[in-house]
Structure 1
Amino acid sequence: MTLGGYLLKLVGSRILIALLVLVGILQILDLLDVTNDILDRDLGAAGVGYYAMLRLPRLIEQAAPLAVLAGALFAFGKLAGDSAVTAMRSTGISTYRITLMAVPAALVLALTQLAIGLQIAPRTDSMLSDWWQASTPKDKAESVDPVTFRVGDEIVVAVPRDPDGRSLEQVTIYRRDANGRLVQRTSAQAAVFENERWRLVEPRFESLGTASIAEGQARSMDWTENLRPSDVRMLAAGETTVTAAEARRALTGGLSVRPRTYYDTQLQRAWAAPLACLVMLLLAAPASLANFRGGGATLMVQCLAAGLLYLVFDGAFTALGQNGAAPPILAAWAAPAMFAALGVTVLLYLEG
């Protein structure tokens, strides 16, 4: 086996073990919260297994960066403890080359995380939502609170009582002009999804002029194509996860319940988040130079602290971008750029 193959196998196996442990812990914590609900719906052990399977992609996505950090620290720590790095450096192999040999392991997990975030998780989330809604006990007497959301420039208040998401009740639509001023209020008994678009039932109109109010009504009226039944089901369930596709659609006139900056940031984050795996590898790489006879454990702790600090900074920048306090592109990419630069700088310093 070549040196590159040995390093890749060592780092890859440690990352995989760390990923399995972290996902297992997250899965157990998640099931502790919902198992009673699943059993109360008479779904049994099969329901628990089905829920766990559908939740697995999101848990892998969440655990991936920490798995790279932990796995790389264990791998580089083993190399340092066995004096393997010292032997390699004596033959002219630099720490940079050692790190580059380990990059494919982190890159595979980063690409997996990207595929999960863009393609796999949105589908499993939708399947889980539909399954959960279908197994929810029906209680006609249960009151349903109105929800408020935006479709393009319109603000909508409605009651999503239909579990299939194909109808809305007590619909009120506030239409605004380009400057955000209210120009029309439309009230309808219901809105029904038919032929790939929504139709208002018995709508009443109140158009606001500069000095007057014009009223009108109709038996029915076509409304919008930008709202989907899945959007209504998501509103009724109170789901908070926003995929890249949903963020892109919200920015082009689809359903939105948050500020535009939130969706801009989520769209950028979909591509920036997988870089965390490569950043974590860079932050863990200095551990390969640890000298355990001279307090090398301190360097390991510092690498671990740097990785955890990266997660804190990344979360803080994301929150700033979602609330409009920072540009979305800065909020999504600042932490990966800063901590990647930090990892490279530390390697340059230690190698020099």
Structure 2
Amino acid sequence: MKVLDKYIFKQVALSVLVVLLVVLGLDLLIAFLDQMDNMNEHYTLSGAFYYVVWTLPRRLYEYIPLGTLVGVMVGLGMLASQSELTVMRAAGISTGRILLTVFKPVMLMALVGLLLGQFIAPITEQRAQSVRALAMAGGGAYSDNGVWHKEDNTFIFINAVESGEIIHGVTRYEFASDLQLLRSSFAERGTFEDGAWSLSNISETRLHDAHTETATLAQERWQSGLTPDLLSIVVVEPVDLSITGLWEYARYLQGQGVNADVYFLAFWAKLLQPLSIVALVLVGISFVFGPLRSVPIGQRIVSGVILGLIFKFAQDLLGPASSVYGFPPLLATLLPILLCSLGGWYLLRRAG
């Protein structure tokens, strides 16, 4: 039995790896070609190449669910096409035993995805965004690619982040409680020192009832709750943050009175990704044992892609719906997983 388990494991794992490599290679090529539209005298071909390379862990993390689903359907489907699954079952090996062996590489990929999403992809994605923003700004303070942030009654825009403790192009708009603009300022550069930001080369405008007042400052100490740790979260999209980073930043936004549903949705989606993979694979396996056991490999791939897209669309639709209709983000993430799991279990029962 150990020989048989190794054979099934090898067949499924190899199929998953091949599918992931093909999908990831195509995505990297498309991403690199897409960056050519953004190139200028500072953001060159090499800069675009390094940007795409830095985003590789994030792209791999995103494709693990779909790649695992299609890979399992292809690997297990090849065994079914060659009647090997039929022989195994005729020899007395139960469907449950086969499923247990198939899920070993699946759980391994789920673990890899969890580690990528928590420890590797957030760091490399932040690096990718910082390198790209600085290159497009020409190493200076001006860029069309930046991030907005709200803190109390101050709206902040940061053009580029060189590292967690160095920022470029900091624009601040300070409002009174009645939403009257009190002050706007622009600092070319900022560094985090001794618990606060040290801004340099500041141009500011103060608005009074009957006149405005402008000034320039060489240095300014800016005390802000936007620490380097939080800043490393702000510069990337919610889906690219770590699990712990999402939770911390969502709680921080709640403290600032800002709606944090999008971050809670991303948090639950990342935390429950292993369950999403298991649910998708369960349905995919039920197709192989049931209606797709004798169809060509191309049709299995198409079926797997369609299934993965339907699952993704369901989560994407339920996410905004949770904000509109007021049900918890956890439910919006968990509902497609439960429906998928129940559907897969039902189809497997019918297939015997």
- TM-score normalized with structure 2 length: 0.76
Report how far residue 185 of structure 1 moved: 7.8
Alpha-carbon distance between aligned partners in 1 of 2:54 and 2:336, rounded to the nearest angstrom: 30
Within 5 Å, give how 1:195-234 maps onto structure 2.
195-198=194-197, 223-228=223-228, 231=231
What is the CA–CA distance in structure 2 between the aligned matches of 1:347 and 1:273, rounded to whole Å?
22
Contact 2:61 2:117 in 1 (8 A): yes
Secondary structure of the corresponding residue to residue 268 of structure 1 = helix
Confirm or deny: 8 A CA contact 1:261 1:323 kept in the other structure.
Answer: no
Name the CA distance, whole Å, in 2 between partners of 1:42 and 1:144: 13
What's 2:250 paired with?
251
Give the C-alpha shift of residue 293 in structure 1. 9.4
Match of 1:311 in 2: 312
Alpha-carbon contact 1:161-1:167 (below 8 Å) kept = yes
Where structure 2 has 5 or more consecutive residues not aligned to the other structure, the ranges are 209-219
- Give the CA deviation at 1:277: 2.1
1:42-191 equivalences in 2 (<5 Å): 43-44=44-45, 46-138=46-138, 149-151=149-151, 154-160=152-158, 164-165=166-167, 168-173=170-175, 187=183, 189=185
**In the aligned structure 1, how far is the partner of 2:157 from the partner of 2:252?**
21
Q: Offset of 1:307 from its aligned partner?
A: 3.7
Contact 2:133/2:160 (<8 A) preserved: no
User: What amino acid is the match of 1:341?
Assistant: L
Q: Tell me the number of residue pairs that the alignment of Structure 1 and Structure 2 aligns.
A: 328
Tell me if structure 1 keeps the 8 A contact 2:20–2:64: yes
- C-alpha distance in structure 2 between counterparts of 1:146 and 1:310, whole Å: 32
- Does the 8 A contact of 1:287 with 1:299 survive in 2? no
Once structures 1 and 2 are overlaid, which stretch shifts more, 262-271 or 119-128? Answer: 262-271
Deviations along 1:143-193, one digit per CA (max 9) or x if unpaired, are 979975333xx1422453576426734430456xxxxxx699864646865
1:261 match: 261
Shift of 1:120: 0.6
- The offset of 1:69, in angstroms, is 1.7
Letter in 2 for 1:100: L
Task: Indicate the larger mover: 191-200 or 244-253.
Answer: 191-200
- Contact kept, 8 Å, 1:80 with 1:291, in 2: the verdict is no
What is the CA–CA distance in structure 2 between the aligned matches of 1:141 and 1:224, rounded to whole Å? 20
Partner Cα separation in structure 1 for residue 348 and residue 230 of structure 2? 48
CA RMSD of aligned residues (A): 4.1
Task: List aligned pairs for 1:315-334, cutoff 5 A.
Answer: 315-321=316-322, 325-334=326-335
Q: Are the equivalent residues in 2 in contact too, given 1:227–1:254 (CA < 8 A)?
A: no
Q: 1:303 to 1:92 in 2, by over 3 A?
A: farther
Deviation at 1:24, TM superposition (A): 0.9
Q: Equivalent pairs: percent with the same residue?
A: 21
Task: Tell me the distance in 1 between the aligned counterparts of 2:244 and 2:175.
Answer: 25
Structure 2 partner of 1:344: 345
Which residue number corresponds to residue 23 of structure 1?
Answer: 24
TM-score between both structures, scaled by the size of structure 1:
0.76
**Secondary structure of 2:224's match?**
coil
Q: How has the CA–CA distance of structure 1 residues 322 and 32 changed in structure 2, closer, same or farther, with 3 Å as cutoff?
A: farther
Per-residue deviation, residues 12-51 of structure 1 (Å, max 9, x unmatched):
000110000110111111111113535743644x434422
Question: Residue 285 of structure 1 aligns with which residue?
Answer: 285
**Could you tell which deviates more after superposition, 222-231 or 195-204?**
195-204
Q: Is the 8 A contact 2:146 2:159 kept in 1?
A: no
**Alpha-carbon contact 1:166-1:229 (below 8 Å) kept:** no
The alignment partner of 1:160 has SS state of: strand
Superposition deviation, residue 131 in structure 1? 1.4
Q: Which amino acid aligns with 2:250?
A: L
Q: Is the 8 A contact 1:286 1:299 kept in 2?
A: no
The aligned amino acid for 1:308 is L
Quote the offset at 1:227 in angstroms: 4.2
